[in-house]
Amino acid sequence: MEDRLYFVRLFGPFEMRKNDGELVSFPARTAAATIAYLAIKKGRPVSRKSLAQEFWPEHDHSAAMTSLRTALHRVKKSLPRGYPIIAEGETLRLDPAMVGTDLDESERLHRTFLLAANRPDGLDAFRKEWQIRRRTLLEGWEFEWLDELRPRMEIEAAEVGGELAKHLEANGDLELAAETWREVLTITPHHAEALQHAIRLEFQLKGKAGAMVLAKTAVDNYRSDLGIEMPKELQKMVKAIQSNALEVIPKPDLIRTRSELLLLARMFESSLKANRTEALSLLAHECAQPAAMAHPRTTLSLLTLALDQTDGASEERIAVAAQTTTIASWSSEFEVGHRWSDFVLANTTPESIYHGQVLNTKGFMFFEQRRYDEAKAFIQRSTEAFQKQGQWVKMWRTKIGMAGIQWHLLDFEGAKKTYLEVIREIGDSDEDEIVAAKSVAHGNLSFVCTVQQQWEAAVEHGRHSLAGTDRIPVGRVVFPIPLGLGLVALGERKEGLDFLIAGVSGTLREGMLRFNQIAVDYAALAFKLLGREDVARCVIHANADHRAILQHSCSPAEANLIRDIMSIDPDNVKIAKNPLKGQSAGTLSQWVCEELERLTLATN
């Protein structure tokens, strides 16, 4: 706090203090809320128009902008030692050099934990992070924009608490582990994983009586009237308690095996600080390996740490920044991705091997953010860069990207024409890149046909897409999703459900969270087609929170498919008490797979 003029507390009741500890007083809640809103954005620019709409949705544009100017004037009067809001044209942002926040502090603590997960200082940092994140965001405030943010923060907090509890138990501190699981349950009382571990530890520490109380909570929180069965592992735990069959379970030997990248980071941390190019080169190489892609959050932390502790535009640093852009796009850390993609583009020419790659990735990020015009512009620029370099296969990939934008915006026939052109132009070569590109084109065609409910064509292209997945392993995980739904719609129930299980479980296992959300929504559509309407609605409702966390809303095409089959708006489902809502992405996906398996067994 001492190196910045101000410190803002966002978790718990809002508070802003000067660096001498004096509390800042604001004359109106909206002035304080302006600081809080910009602080949550972590220094990223926010348009004045969107800020005014968020704060004063009931006002017309002119009145809302007047209210915003009044709020900014009040902020300036309350902070005479230094005004931390930077105005850049029509945008505003908080100067991170002037303002520190507990959100920033929690991220710094998590990075410390990632780099020292099995050391006392790492675990201590994780406990401090949990003490911040377990509090309610801006407690006591009521704004419409908080209604969306709070559930997202609660899901993230529950994941932090759960991981901490596992590490505490692995280190032998059962009491504190049990207490942490109970704290997770104060955030989400029906959190399946927390209930399961809390019951087990309560039994181990205090016997059956305490465990039975938690078991009753588990039973009460699942709704048979909606067809939402308790997750299998929790169900087994509750039955074991009720029948006196639960035995004391020894502590885990190791909760999570950390990537070798963490050891690598410890080894060259001092070299990074010295701006040693060989350390950067090694990191760029290691983080490009498939194993690193399976740990996107850890990998991204290491890459951004390296970039933050070095400077300049050496070839090695550009390589790390390019890889950061790729990992950030997969992790839905779009602000991080855009920041470092801009750095690469500013320091390379179109002839650079990184230039076209980063242009394409930036276009992909805009595509995932549903900013389609910007996506088109960057994908077009990447096409031109690849053309100059003679990278023909990559040019076909950019065509596939453009077609994705077309069908997301409901130009289905234009997209299909592009995909079929790519397949025809590629020909029948057995080269890995060409087989992979053809597989991707067929896989995308399968998705297009599902949103058009052209089930036979969806299945045909889905089967073609799987033929090339030995050359593109990611396709093995993603392309079963539309194929599975198409088969279910055609009455091929068992095979279709098996493919959907593969899609949901595979995308989760590989950390492909955006595709996991699509897979979960497609599973919900299968539930509806098979007569499980209440279950389908609960799944769509719960999955919407995870989409919001990743800033990955349904495309217009996907939203229309859900509306058509389920007669609901995927962004506005209302269920008074949904036991799937608030669960982690892992628990939700696990439950969906269990329900798909139950339906599979019912077909035999």
CATH of the domain at 15: 1.10.10.10
Checking if the pLDDT of 549 tops 90, the result is no
Mean pLDDT to the nearest integer, 316-345: 89
Residue 270 has a pLDDT of 47
| Residue 484 contacts residue 526 (beta carbons within 8 Å) | yes
Q: Is the pLDDT of residue 277 over 70?
A: no
Query: Is 70 exceeded by the pLDDT of residue 246?
Result: no
As a whole number of Å, the end-to-end CA separation of the chain is 63
55 with 68: CB under 8 angstroms? Answer: yes
Q: Clarify whether residues 485 and 604 are in a common domain.
A: yes
Is residue 164 in some structural domain? yes
Q: Where residue 179 sits, what CATH number does that domain have? A: 1.25.40.10
Strands 91-94, 46-47: pairing kind:
antiparallel
Q: Which of 48, 80, 102 is the last residue of a domain?
A: 102
Q: What is the pLDDT of residues 60-114, one digit of tens each?
A: 999 999 999 999 999 999 998 899 999 988 999 999 889 999 999 998 898 788 7
Indicate the pLDDT class of residue 269, thresholds 50, 70 and 90.
low
Closest C-alpha to 459, from 435, 424, 488? 488
Least confidently predicted of 27-31, 435-439, 445-449, 481-485: 435-439
Q: What is the pLDDT of residues 112-137, one digit of tens each?
A: 887 666 678 889 999 999 999 999 99
Kindly report which listed range (270-284, 529-543, 544-558, 563-577) carries the lowest average pLDDT score: 270-284
What is the tens place of the pLDDT at every residue in 195-240?
A: 999 998 998 898 888 888 888 888 888 766 667 888 888 888 888 8
Q: Which residue segment(s) compose the domain that 592 sits in?
A: 479-604
Contact yes or no for 308/273 (Cβ under 8 A):
no
Among 341, 347, 354, 263, CA closest to 302: 263
Do 526 and 594 sit in the same domain of this protein?
A: yes
For residues 71 and 153, membership in a common domain is answered with: no
Residue 24 lies in a domain: yes
Query: Is 592 a member of any domain?
Result: yes
Give the integer Cα–Cα distance in Å for 392 and 356: 12
What residues contact 384, with CB distance under 8 A and at least 6 apart? 350
Q: How far is CA 313 from CA 307, 322, 340, 353, in A?
A: 10, 12, 12, 15
Q: What pLDDT is attached to residue 267?
A: 46
Percent of the chain topping pLDDT 90: 54
**Number of domains into which the chain is organized:** 3
Strands 85-88 and 91-94: antiparallel
CA distance linking residue 372 with residue 358, whole number of Å: 17
Beta pairing partners, 15 = 9
Strand ranges across the sheet with 46-47: 46-47, 91-94, 85-88
Q: Is the pLDDT of residue 283 over 60?
A: yes
Of 242, 275, 290, which residue is a domain's last? Answer: 242
**Length of the chain counted residue by residue:** 604
User: Does 251 reside within a domain?
Assistant: no
Q: Give the C-alpha distances (Å, rounded to integers) separating 390 from 383, 393, 394, 435.
A: 10, 9, 9, 19
- φ/ψ region of 240 (left if φ > 0, alpha if ψ in -120 to 50, else beta) reads alpha
For 314, 352, 410, 476, the CA distances from 343, given in Å and listed in that order, are 12, 14, 34, 33
Q: Is residue 533 part of a domain?
A: yes
Q: Are residues 72 and 13 in the same domain?
A: yes
- Residue 7 in tokens: 């410190």
Contacts 24+ apart (CB under 8 A), 273-276: 273/309, 275/310, 275/311, 275/312
Residue type, 12: G
In terms of domains, do 531 and 600 share one? yes
Domain boundary among 242, 272, 289: 242
Share of the chain above pLDDT 70, in %: 88
Bridge partners (DSSP) listed for residue 91: 47, 88
Return the structure tokens found at 381: 């620029």
Residues 574, 492: one domain? yes
Q: Residues 91, 192: one domain?
A: no
How far, CA to CA in Å, does 253 sit from each of 2, 114, 205, 258, 284? 41, 19, 19, 13, 32
Q: What pLDDT digit, counting tens, does each position of 325-339 carry?
A: 988 887 778 888 998
Q: 30-34, 261-265, 274-278: which range is least confident on average?
A: 261-265
Widest distance between CA atoms in the chain: 73
The reported pLDDT for the residue numbered 488 is: 98
SS3 (DSSP) at 295: coil
Question: What does DSSP say about strands 99-101 and 15-18: parallel, antiparallel, or unpaired?
Answer: unpaired
Mean pLDDT across 298-318: 81
Q: Model confidence at 340, in pLDDT bands (50, 70, 90)?
A: very high
**pLDDT(250) > 80:** no
Residues 149 and 94 both lie in one domain: no
Task: Return the pLDDT at 257.
Answer: 40
Sheet of strand 15-18: strand arrangement: 15-18, 6-9, 99-101
* One-letter amino acid of 412: F
| Alpha helices, DSSP H, located in 43-97 | 48-55, 61-78
Domain membership of residue 170 (yes or no) is yes
Would residue 371 count as lying in a domain? no
Residue 448 included in any domain: no
Pairwise pLDDT comparison (270 vs 527), residue with the higher score: 527
Residue 43's pLDDT is what?
A: 80
Q: Report how far residue 242's alpha carbon sits from residue 208's, in angstroms, rounded to the nearest whole number.
A: 9
CA dihedral over 498, 502, 505, 508, signed as positive or negative:
negative
Query: Could you report the per-residue pLDDT of 501-522, keeping only the tens digit for each?
Result: 999 998 887 777 888 999 999 9
CA 1 to chain centroid: 29
